[in-house]
Amino acid sequence: MHSKDHKQNGAQGSSVDNLSGSRRRLARIRCILECIQCLKERKKFPACICFVPSEVEYKCQSKTTLRVYPEPLKNSKKIKDLHCTTESRVVASGEEYCNSQGKWLRIKRFRVTSNDEEKFDTEAWIQQFSSKSSNDEAPVLVPVDKALKRTNPISNWEEVVEQHFAIQLPKKKLDIMAADEEAVDKLRQVPANWSIECEEALVRLMSQHIPPENDHLGSIKNYVEAVDVSSCCDESTGSSPLTDGDPDTYWESDGSAGRHWIELKMKKGAVISELKVTLDGSDDNYLPRKLVVEGGEPNNFTVLNTVNITWEISDVEDIPLLENSTEHYPYIMIRIKECKCEYTSGGIDTRIREIKITASEGRYMGFDMDVFKKDNLVRFPKLESYTSEQLYRRSILIQRFISILDNVLKYLVPSWKYSVGSYSSLEFIRQLLPLSKKRMHLIETFVKESATERPSDTPKLYINRRAAMEHRCEPGNDPDFKNSIFSQIYEGLKPRDRNSKCLDYRWSSRFDQWWECKFMSEGVIDQGGGFRDSLSDLSEELCPVNSDAALPLPFFIRSPNQVGDASNIHRDVYILNHQCRDFTKYEWIGQLMGACLRGKENLVLSFPPLIWKMICGERVTWTRDYHTVDAAEVKLIDQLETMDKETFSGAGRIWSTTMTDGTPVELKVDGEGNPLPLDYDDRQEYCNKVRQIRMSEFEQQISAIRKGLLKTVPQAVFDLLTWQELEHRISGNPDITIEALKRSVHYDDIEEDCSTVKYMWQALEKFSTEDRSRFLRFVTGRKRLPAPIYVSSGKTDAIDCLPESSTCANMLYIPTYTSSKVAEEKLRYAVYNCTDMDADTLYLSDTDLDIF
């Protein structure tokens, strides 16, 4: 039951033009506000948003036989066959039902002719189309077009919503089709013990099964979910010139020879009949010379075709790459292995004007019933007690709600200085926003339009990492942390004279090196790798990975969960230090976080969800969120609140508590300043005060970080992002899976199926998350994905040796290994021990590139 299907069923010829566009928008906003109130109070949604027409009339496209089942399952016992002609009519409820077998209609009547009608008094279902069919195949049944009837009643749920919530004086009575009350009641039903947390879990489940909005893909959007490219000279346009339909624009690579590629993520069921790329002869030396087309999963591609362009291209020409494919490939990879310029001017980059695809379009079934089967609920324990049908119905309702919201979202989101947070009701549904199809486009628009020009001169910083390492080992010898990487970068970026300006960190993602590092006593020419490594060093100082290491900076402290034994989750997180009052530096940290959000770099900050939510401006609660900081305290206070009097008397509590760092706080004292005994009847007041103190402990530090963030990123971006998305955009993906690593790897002069590469992957499979993070830093200078990784063979005589790398080229030079065990030992040693960017170490600097 999806909105686009209802629009097909809706009364296109109905007389509903009595509402202006502004009144329609206002009606939708009023609907949104009432629905949010229903979510807060756990009440039923308004009947109008749950509207299901009592009847929809369908006609047969051709002579056929329809099978009638007692339930929407092909393996159920058939009731009967209906023999249809093009004159036959099927009258069904507006209630639709989708499962893995296809889309089903609940039939009410069947007419062979106007005088020959059969009624179905018991539940009966017929299949409108199979899930295996493509969009090119017409459904067996299609709604009867009633557009010519001027008095056709309203049967579209969106129009019913607008009419119900519209302000009209005098109120006009319109002809609205009778509702299927049984179907409406099913949609309106609030499952037992349902809460906003259940709603949010349902949205997270749904988000895993929805294809991204891809209007930007132009003519190929019906077949392709996403387009990715190896690199591009213009980061602001990315891959968009390939699909914008404009012959004057082009995608131009910006990488190393032989490593250019275009990846197409195909829609489910799409089978390519023709794939072409458009080239323009005027691009001359930028023209590709050899292209290889591969298909399959990212870690298991099969070569489908190789195209060698040996002729001269004088004009705009479409080059066929693939024709008459007979199967669906989840991904299509176009590799540009050679360019014309390699044989003429010595250049390395290529240009492609457009991608053209003809294919059978896979039929998108949306969130069918099988999405909510028990096997898919393992990661969502809040949903496990509900049936698939309950979740399916609720998902339909949430989709309708988000559809209404999407229609008016751009009118609700303000400009730079203002916040949809002032539209406070939207804050309650922040975790439902990932289903929005319009939100990400708005976010990227705000980020792009608020960008400033990059600095005319890249700041040059002189970093003494040896002094910083000494400080990290003995922070007490440098109480002002002047030798830390943090202070060296902070002081180095300060304006040197009156004419210099502070960096505003609001540059576009194209500016991918914010400063240039000169590492003292290290052989490095920084072309990007040194800068990224300085960010990794900065992250390590702010939130050390080693839980036993001393803290080199005062801004963040280890959470009680990390220190205590009461929790087995969020044990690696840091919280803000309420005793640190250096708000200027907190603000600078916020600016760095904003720059990461805008660009492609990561500042890895190991915060618990509570901190990310507070930074993002999401609502937080004691029981749900504070346990990610101090699970033991949450358990203690919650138990104290419900404790019986006898147990309480034995506890001997006083009016005192502690902050997260152990600092004592007296809540009520006697004349000598000693905490008063806590009476049983006062325990509720005591618990409330402890919660208030703990939840507001680092509000000032959070405010300083937010102040820095808001100097670089518009407020509306934070109103539209969830805390999870904010964390990933600033700190990268914390979980480095083998599958994610494989998607990031590209091979250069080494075959993916060679034994050494296989041994490498077998070794990485045995690595922990921290091991893989260190591996990523060893190769790229980053600690988290996303980051491209290029794997090349090592020196020809290198066997069972340590690997080498160049962070500026994101290159791993891997020697020949004779077993996965040896590969594991060598890789692990390298990633933990070869981390100095010195020409004498195994961790290659930019100057070492000349060797290869």
CB contact set of 28 (below 8 Å; sequence gap of 6+): 161, 162, 165, 404, 407, 408
CB contact set of 267 (below 8 Å; sequence gap of 6+): 211, 222, 223, 224, 225, 361, 362, 364
Helix (H) or strand (E) holding 301, with range, is strand 300-308
Measured distance CA(76)–CA(127) in Å, rounded: 13
For residue 357, report the phi and psi dihedrals to the nearest 5 degrees. -135, 135
Query: How far is C-alpha 474 from the geometric centre of its chain's CA atoms?
Result: 40
Measured distance CA(783)–CA(537) in Å, rounded: 10
Measured distance CA(191)–CA(387) in Å, rounded: 10
217 in Cβ contact with 224 (< 8 Å): yes
Question: How many other C-beta atoms are found inside a 10 Å radius of the C-beta of residue 200?
Answer: 18
CB contact set of 311 (below 8 Å; sequence gap of 6+): none
Burial class (CB in 10 A: 0-12, 13-18, 19+), 380: middle
Measured distance CA(644)–CA(660) in Å, rounded: 27
Question: How many other C-beta atoms are found inside a 10 Å radius of the C-beta of residue 55?
Answer: 15
E-strand spans in 599-724?
656-658, 664-666
Measured distance CA(519)–CA(835) in Å, rounded: 13
For residue 514, give the nearest of 450, 593, 448 by alpha carbon. Answer: 593
CB contact set of 453 (below 8 Å; sequence gap of 6+): 507
What are the tokens at 684?
């509720």
DSSP conformation letters of 211-266:
PPP-GGGGGGTTTEEEEEES--S-TTTTTGGGTS--TT--EE--S-TT-EEEEEEE
What are the tokens at 402?
């988000």
For residue 827, report the phi and psi dihedrals to the nearest 5 degrees. -65, -45
CB contact set of 825 (below 8 Å; sequence gap of 6+): none
Measured distance CA(786)–CA(736) in Å, rounded: 9
Query: How far is C-alpha 229 from the geometric centre of its chain's CA atoms?
Result: 18
Longest pairwise C-alpha distance within the chain: 98
Measured distance CA(567)–CA(630) in Å, rounded: 8
For residue 45, give the nearest of 198, 196, 156, 190 by alpha carbon. Answer: 190
Measured distance CA(165)–CA(407) in Å, rounded: 15
For residue 541, give the nearest of 580, 461, 587, 484 by alpha carbon. Answer: 484
β-bridge mates for residue 452, sequence order: 507
Q: Which positions are annotated as active-site residues?
A: 808
Measured distance CA(389)–CA(183) in Å, rounded: 13
Question: How many other C-beta atoms are found inside a 10 Å radius of the C-beta of residue 820?
Answer: 18
In the numeric block, the tokens 């809706």 are attached to 10
